Amino acid sequence: MSNENKLLGVASSPHVSSPIGTRSLMLDVLIALVPALCAAVYFFGPRALIATIISVVACEIFEMGYRKLLHKTQTNGDLSAAVTGVLLAFVCPVTLPYWMLIIGDFFAIVVVKQLFGGLGKNFINPALGGRAFLMLSYPVAMTTWAVPGKWSGLISAADAVTGATPLSVDFMHSGVLPEASIMDMFVGNVGGCIGEVSAVMLLAGGIYLIARGVIRPNIPVAFIATVAVLTFIFPQGGNDRVTWMLYELLGGGLFLGAFFMATDYVTSPTSPKGEIVFGIGCGLLTVFIRYFGGYPEGVSYAILIMNVCVWFIDQATKPARFGFTKEMKEKAKAAKKAAKEGAAK
Amino acid sequence: MSHKFYGGVHPAEHKEATERKPVVPLEEAPAQVVIPMSMHVGAPCKPIVAVGDEVKVGQKIGEIAGLGAPIHASVSGKVVAVEARPHPGGGKMMSVVIENDFQDTPCETIKHRDNVDALTPQEIIDIVKEAGITGMGGAGFPTHVKLSGAVGKVDAILINGAECEPYITADHRLMLERGEAVLGGVGFIMKALGLKEATIGIEGNKLDAVEHLKSLLPADSGIHIETLKTRYPQGAEKQLIQRITGREVPPGGLPADVGCTVFNVATASAIYDAVTEGKPLTHRNVTLTGGAMARPMNVNAPIGTPIEHLIKMAGGFQTQPQRLLMGGPMMGNPQYDLTAPMMKGTNCILALTDAEAAVQDTEQTCIRCGKCVNACPMHLMPLYMRMYSMKRDWDKVQEYNVMDCMECGSCNYICPARIHLVQTFRMAKFEIRGLQQKAKAKEAAKA
């Protein structure tokens, strides 16, 4: 027996851990994005799939290369770079030349994520950071939209049939309803970025994530509800409230943003209250940008702006201390004040 | 009446290995028992026997020295040593070692009491004190101190049958097999405190125990049985109070501050035995389980039985365990010396295999997923507590109320990056206590 004793492990409790790790969480996110990718391939052709794959591979290579260059441990196994790759491809038009997409991947992984210390340290969502960079660098390519059902070329998309998106300056940005029906918008039979068009598929993915406990419903619900309420109260162009609200909800990247971008762990608050504040903030900014901004679509910038507020939101929304009554709170406040005055003297 | 209990986790229960196995006495009594003089919160007892003395079962061998509960022999035989021996809490502790004569001769003080209805509350508390009863759920607070401190101060008695730690079934079996003793003990607690009502909380994974106790309950007993949704750490004192009464024990406070007092079901049955039969606390139910244990079982064993003997009774190890714990996998104490004995508060000996134990692989970076914040039953933000702990910014760590942490392990369990949160907080609390003591000493020197 004494021999066996030497082999017993001793460690701090707890001695069991949940089977869910970072990698499995990221894998779940990737799985949840598959339905939207299927819709994209159906409407925009195999180029959507190729673009997504190229983006994932580029992200993984940039991550590996950067960490190798700086002699850091390799982190490709956590799949977070793959998630960034898919998401960045999803927020670009299918006609975007591959090399531009790769430049966006570089910006997302190296500049936004790794320069700040890698996973967990970046303060804005890498995919949205990459998109913002591409929007500034290649505004025309980033706003050229393929018409759904007319597949663009695999190598060069220069000959693609292009049109407007529901949220473009031609339509809702000017208060005019687009030609696409609400049903078309719901299934994704409209122009737009690769991954944002099919609300139903994104919803399926979002529900999967919530059911698996990967994300909590607070952010997406608060986000979408805020947009719904605001657009219902303030319809544009004399349109019917409900119709306008539905077009606002389904057009653009709201579902992709609410379920997959705003819920990014690293760049969202950690407490339940904070998540609701964050979701409401995203919703408010989205509507403001859509109504009053120069860009027809506001989801990505709304999330980016809220990303940089996360630290303050987390500070302001600490869960109420267990058993801390009102009297105790006042007492503690008074004591703090007294201590401050004492120190001043 | 149902209240919310915020946070918590639901680890795999693993109770199926032993939940249907009746409690059996040890197949073979231990040849020696090692009874540590500290099995409770407070000061260690003073041994009152010497080497060579003959002792009987239930004979007092350790007397209170300060806060504590007396200690009794759990087997009859000869005292062969009074010396420091390995203690399950780590290190060594003064212990009385008794060589078993296998006669189990009971002490003369163990007598059936007929007139239990005539006992006054103070008499009940005195009996509990003489029987050496301590909280049997783990912490081991002397029960008579809890009772006398609660008289007149509390309006709610809660009985803890949650048994929320995975693997353990000792209390579950106790409720099924000795339901009368549990309910009887609750009755005595009510009488001692002069209250008409008490609530037993039992988790929903033990519905048979709920049904059984309900069937035994007389109509006008005043005892309520509440089924709780299975959730760890519901059996923690503060969480049980919150769940059943909706009251929150203030930081650094005691249950009595919100008019509550909590007893374990095993403590209740020990009180019943002490009052009706005059039996001191010498035996208790222990679950012997885990993937490495050859024959998982529930036993009723004399306190002081060495762990290695218990393991032998459970058929030994079928595979080499990665870790051997006293208690459950969430808060249990890892053992490295199997000659250490089981104690009054030992509800489980758990032998975890490599696959079962969280082989603490390297910490990854925090991805700020917030799962720890949502899991913390004390409403803390573990990720920030850790961040500031790593920077050794103790003021900030205190601002995040690290001292409220009860080390239940929920955050650590749920963390996808496998960060050793509880260990970090233990260290932080240790550092902060050190600083506080230093500051106090400085104040004292000034004055």
Domain CATH number, residue A37? 1.10.3430
CA distance A247 to A207: 21
- What residues of B are in contact with residue A266 (Cβ under 8 Å)? 367-368
Residue B154 resides in a domain: yes
Tell which of B374, B399, B405, B415 to mutate to test the A interface (max A CBs under 10 Å): B374
Number of independent structural domains in chain B: 2
Decide if A271 and B373 are in contact by the 8 Å CB cutoff: yes
pLDDT tens track for B397-406: 999 999 999 9
Residue A78 in contact with partner chain B when CB distance is under 8 A: yes
Residue B5 resides in a domain: no
List the single residue in A10, A16, A118 with the smallest CB-CB distance to B329. Answer: A16
The residue type found at A150 is K
Distance from CA of B377 to the nearest CA of A (A): 8
Residue B34 resides in a domain: no
Residue B192 resides in a domain: yes
List the single residue in A10, A17, A22 with the smallest CB-CB distance to B367. Answer: A22
Distance from CA of A323 to the nearest CA of B (A): 4
Decide if A12 and B422 are in contact by the 8 Å CB cutoff: yes
| Interface contacts A/B by beta carbons within 8 Å | 164
CA distance B38 to B70: 10
- Given a contact cutoff of 8 angstroms between Cβ atoms, the answer to whether B370 and A319 are in contact is no
**What are the 10-residue block averages of pLDDT along chain A, 345 residues in total?**
60 90 95 96 94 97 96 92 97 95 97 94 95 94 88 80 80 82 90 92 97 96 97 91 93 94 96 96 96 87 96 93 85 81 69
Distance from CA of A267 to the nearest CA of B (A): 8
Q: Are residues B132 and B240 in the same domain?
A: yes
CA distance A322 to B64: 35
Decide if B352 and A16 are in contact by the 8 Å CB cutoff: yes
- Cα B322 to Cα B120, B279, B333: the distances in Å are 51, 38, 14
From B231, B257, B277, the end of a domain falls on B277
Residue A32 resides in a domain: yes
From B249, B277, B305, the end of a domain falls on B277
Tell which of A10, A13, A216, A324 to mutate to test the B interface (max B CBs under 10 Å): A13
Residue A262 resides in a domain: yes
Give the neighbor-by-neighbor strand order of the sheet with B156-161.
B223-228, B198-203, B156-161, B260-264
Helix (H, G, I), strand (E, B) or coil at B390: helix
Instruction: Quote the Cα angle for A312-A313-A319, to 5°.
Output: 120
Which residues fall within 8 angstroms of residue B16, CB to CB, at 6 or more apart? Answer: none
Residue A341 resides in a domain: no
Residue A73 resides in a domain: yes
* Residue span of the structural domain in which A270 resides: 20-316
Residue A188 resides in a domain: yes
Decide if A269 and B370 are in contact by the 8 Å CB cutoff: yes
- What residues of B are in contact with residue A11 (Cβ under 8 Å)? 323, 334, 360
Among candidates B326, B305, B310, B308, which has minimal Cα distance to B74?
Answer: B305
Decide if B416 and A15 are in contact by the 8 Å CB cutoff: no
Residue in chain A lying closest to B383 (CA): A270
Paired residues of B333 in beta bridges: B326
Among candidates A112, A67, A86, which has minimal Cα distance to A27?
Answer: A86
Residue in chain B lying closest to A325 (CA): B250
- Given a contact cutoff of 8 angstroms between Cβ atoms, the answer to whether B247 and B239 are in contact is no
Distance from CA of A216 to the nearest CA of B (A): 9
Judged on CB neighbours under 10 Å (0-12, 13-18, 19+), B295 is: middle
Decide if A322 and B334 are in contact by the 8 Å CB cutoff: no
Residue A2 resides in a domain: no
Decide if B417 and A22 are in contact by the 8 Å CB cutoff: yes
Beta pairing, strands B348-352 & B283-289: parallel
Q: Are residues B271 and B420 in the same domain?
A: no
* Residue span of the structural domain in which B222 resides: 116-277
The residue type found at A168 is S
Q: Which residue carries 């700020």 as its tokens?
A: B368
Residue in chain B lying closest to A73 (CA): B364
Instruction: Quote the Cα angle for A189-A192-A198, to 5°.
Output: 45
Helix (H, G, I), strand (E, B) or coil at A257: helix
The residue type found at A327 is E
Decide if A12 and B423 are in contact by the 8 Å CB cutoff: yes
Q: Are residues B264 and B395 in the same domain?
A: no
pLDDT, residue A305, reads: 97
Among candidates A304, A190, A184, A207, which has minimal Cα distance to A255?
Answer: A207
CA distance A10 to B360: 11
CA distance B164 to B358: 19
Per-residue model confidence as pLDDT tens for chain B (447 residues): 457 777 899 999 999 999 999 999 999 999 999 999 999 989 999 999 999 999 999 999 999 999 999 999 999 999 999 999 999 988 899 999 999 999 999 999 899 998 888 999 999 999 999 999 999 987 789 999 999 999 999 999 999 999 999 999 999 999 999 999 999 999 999 999 999 999 999 999 999 999 999 999 988 889 999 999 999 999 999 999 999 999 999 998 999 999 999 999 999 999 999 999 999 999 999 999 999 999 999 999 999 999 999 999 999 999 999 999 999 999 999 999 999 999 999 999 999 998 888 766 688 999 999 999 999 999 999 999 999 999 999 999 999 999 999 999 999 999 999 999 999 999 999 999 999 999 999 988 887
Instruction: Quote the Cα angle for A58-A63-A65, to 5°.
Output: 90
pLDDT, residue A2, reads: 44
Residue A131 resides in a domain: yes
Q: Where are the alpha helices (DSSP H) in B217-306?
A: 237-245, 265-277
Decide if A12 and B317 are in contact by the 8 Å CB cutoff: no
Residue in chain A lying closest to B372 (CA): A270
Q: What is the pTM of this model?
A: 0.91
Would you mind telling me the total number of residues written for chain B in this entry? 447
The residue type found at B441 is A
Paired residues of B96 in beta bridges: B35, B82
Which residues fall within 8 angstroms of residue A248, CB to CB, at 6 or more apart? Answer: A172, A227, A228, A231, A254, A287, A290
Q: Where are the alpha helices (DSSP H) in A148-271?
A: 182-187, 199-211, 218-233, 241-250, 254-256
Beta pairing, strands B24-25 & B297-302: parallel
Decide if A12 and B238 are in contact by the 8 Å CB cutoff: no
Distance from CA of B121 to the nearest CA of A (A): 31
Residue A10 in contact with partner chain B when CB distance is under 8 A: yes
- What residues of A are in contact with residue B324 (Cβ under 8 Å)? 8
Decide if B370 and A10 are in contact by the 8 Å CB cutoff: no
Residue A25 in contact with partner chain B when CB distance is under 8 A: yes
Q: What are phi and psi of B100, to 5 degrees?
A: -75, 130
The two three-digit tokens of residue B51, written as one number: 């080497």
List the single residue in B334, B338, B367 with the smallest CB-CB distance to A120. Answer: B367
Distance from CA of B404 to the nearest CA of A (A): 8
pLDDT, residue A1, reads: 42
Residue B222 resides in a domain: yes
DSSP state of B347: -
Residue in chain B lying closest to A271 (CA): B373
- What residues of A are in contact with residue B334 (Cβ under 8 Å)? 8-11, 13, 15
pLDDT, residue B2, reads: 59
Residue A311 resides in a domain: yes
- What residues of A are in contact with residue B384 (Cβ under 8 Å)? 314
* CATH code assigned at B219: 3.40.50.11540
Report CA torsion sign: A234, A238, A243, A247: negative
Q: What is the per-residue DSSP string for A44-100?
A: H-HHHHHHHHHHHHHHHHHHHHHHHHTT----GGG-HHHHHHHHHHHTS-TTS-HHH
Number of independent structural domains in chain A: 1
Residue B74 resides in a domain: no
Beta pairing, strands B198-203 & B156-161: parallel
pLDDT, residue B137, reads: 83
Instruction: Quote the Cα angle for A11-B68-B149, to 5°.
Output: 110
pLDDT, residue B422, reads: 95
From B229, B249, B277, the end of a domain falls on B277
Q: What are phi and psi of A50, to 5 degrees?
A: -60, -45
Distance from CA of A217 to the nearest CA of B (A): 13
Decide if A16 and B322 are in contact by the 8 Å CB cutoff: no
Q: What is the per-residue DSSP string for B282-305?
A: -EEEEEEESTTBSS-EEEEEETT-
- Cα B204 to Cα B209, B233, B321: the distances in Å are 9, 14, 30
Decide if B336 and A328 are in contact by the 8 Å CB cutoff: no
- Provide the terminal-to-terminal Cα distance of chain B, rounded to the nearest Å: 52
- Given a contact cutoff of 8 angstroms between Cβ atoms, the answer to whether B133 and B33 are in contact is no
